[in-house]
Chain A
Amino acid sequence: MPPSSVRVKIDGHEVVISRARLGLFLKLERYSRDFIKAAKDRDSGACVLAVKQYLEAASGKELDLNKNIWYEFYGAFMALKIMNMIDTEIPMLKNPMRSKGDDPPWTHPDRPFIIWIHVIASTYGWSLTEIENLWPEEAAAYVQEITLDDQFEKEWEHMLSPVAHPADKKGKDQYQPLTRPPWMTGSRVKKQKLLRKTLPVGTIIDISGVKLEDLDD
């Protein structure tokens, strides 16, 4: 279980920052994604900006980069990322679906996070404030239940449709059930082989959220 608060040094002062609830968590994830993209592009300016935005959002304070020592700056980011990891056994998050190909034309940088709010609000009718005040683990559990209901409803409609009942040569019904996402079928994420030299060295602080028991032997 991640800690409920961490003490980090920002602008040269020690501050205690508590774990983010859903609203802030989604905002932090956005900056975290920006950081990942910047690191892939080897864009140091964008990396620094993303971490600055992350720390400002997490602490609620504007940062003066000249007052921050680099290892305190990145140290605070790492500590907050670890604290804000979703700690859950929810299958939907342990075995998520990956989008294939290009993003659809209606996507935008905040869309992955707006979806969480949209799914919960349109099902339960809760206000934005109520939803943003959920713990990320609670929100994930609700989203999984909503997604399950939606899948079962689609499966029922599919079962009643002639599309699901093609006939073979003898005219016998060859029922084709609707495909379920991997997290509903219990199939595991394929083990990905990595070269030893690509693994991090030294004291490894895993911020990927993948637990050892989730990996194949």
Chain B
Amino acid sequence: MIDTISIAGQEYTLSPLDIWEATELLFVFKPYIHLFDEKDDVHEFVKRFATEAQEKGPHDPFRVLAFMYHVDADNLISEATTGEEILEALTTGLIFHEVKTLMEFGSLLGISAGEEDGA
């Protein structure tokens, strides 16, 4: 499994998320969960995510990358960063972190947030 990626000439390495990073990542993904279809491959989801993020939150793909590659989101944004690199980094990261599991737990947060209070 690929665990390094080059963005704007800089090499970044993937490593497992800790519980807090995963929770933050789930929050970032929450508005995009509906775009995930487990029948598609990850590339398709990443394309849909990047397109919708242009309207909803242009910074969101960088926030996702920042959590997955354990770096500051601002470090990933430079004039040399290409869209192709971002898509590739997202795809590689989501495969590494098992996108299906991420989306399942994202759904859990989504369901729970809509639950009525009370025992």
- A residues near B, CB below 8 A? 25-26, 29, 33, 35-36, 39-40, 42, 44-45, 47-48, 65-66, 68-71, 73-75, 78, 96, 98, 112-113, 116, 196-208
Minimal beta-carbon separation of B17 from chain A (angstroms): 6
Among the 9-residue stretches B5-13, B82-90, B103-111, the one with 4 or more Cβ atoms under 8 Å from chain A is B103-111
The answer on a CB contact under 8 Å between A198 and B34 is: yes
A113 and B119 in contact (CB under 8 A), knowing A35-B112, A44-B24, A45-B20?
yes
Which size class do B's interface residues fall under? Answer: 20 to 34
Bound together, the chains give a CA A208 to CA B107 distance in angstroms of 12
**B98: which A residues are within 8 A, CB to CB?**
71
Bound together, the chains give a CA A35 to CA B22 distance in angstroms of 15
Minimal beta-carbon separation of B99 from chain A (angstroms): 10
Summed over the interface, the residue pairs from A and B with CB atoms below 8 Å come to a total of 90
Task: Find the A residue at minimum CB distance from B33.
Answer: A201
The answer on a CB contact under 8 Å between B18 and A205 is: no
Bound together, the chains give a CA A200 to CA B105 distance in angstroms of 10
- Which listed residue, B19, B107, B116, touches A70 by the CB 8 Å rule? B19
Top 8 A-B pairs, shortest CB-CB distance: A200-B107, A70-B22, A44-B23, A29-B119, A197-B34, A39-B113, A70-B19, A44-B24
B34-52 contacts to A (CB < 8 Å):
34, 36-38
Q: Which of B36, B111, B119 has the most CB of A within 10 A?
A: B119
A199 and B34 in contact (CB under 8 A), knowing A70-B23, A206-B111?
yes
A33 and B117 in contact (CB under 8 A), knowing A200-B110, A201-B107, A202-B36?
yes
The answer on a CB contact under 8 Å between A47 and B119 is: no
The answer on a CB contact under 8 Å between B118 and A36 is: no
Bound together, the chains give a CA A96 to CA B118 distance in angstroms of 10
Bound together, the chains give a CA A98 to CA B114 distance in angstroms of 15
- B residues near A, CB below 8 A? 16-24, 27, 33-34, 36-38, 98, 100-101, 103-105, 107-119
The answer on a CB contact under 8 Å between B108 and A205 is: yes
Bound together, the chains give a CA A15 to CA B101 distance in angstroms of 21
Minimal beta-carbon separation of B46 from chain A (angstroms): 15
Task: Find the B residue at minimum CB distance from A195.
Answer: B34
Other contacts beyond A74-B105, A204-B107, A207-B115: 13, CB < 8 A:
A39-B112, A39-B113, A40-B113, A44-B23, A44-B27, A48-B19, A71-B101, A71-B105, A73-B19, A98-B116, A197-B34, A201-B37, A206-B111
Bound together, the chains give a CA A71 to CA B100 distance in angstroms of 11
The answer on a CB contact under 8 Å between B34 and A70 is: no
The answer on a CB contact under 8 Å between A207 and B119 is: no
The answer on a CB contact under 8 Å between B33 and A200 is: yes
**A113: which B residues are within 8 A, CB to CB?**
119
Minimal beta-carbon separation of A158 from chain B (angstroms): 27
A42 and B110 in contact (CB under 8 A), knowing A29-B119, A74-B105?
no
The answer on a CB contact under 8 Å between B24 and A208 is: no
Bound together, the chains give a CA A42 to CA B105 distance in angstroms of 15
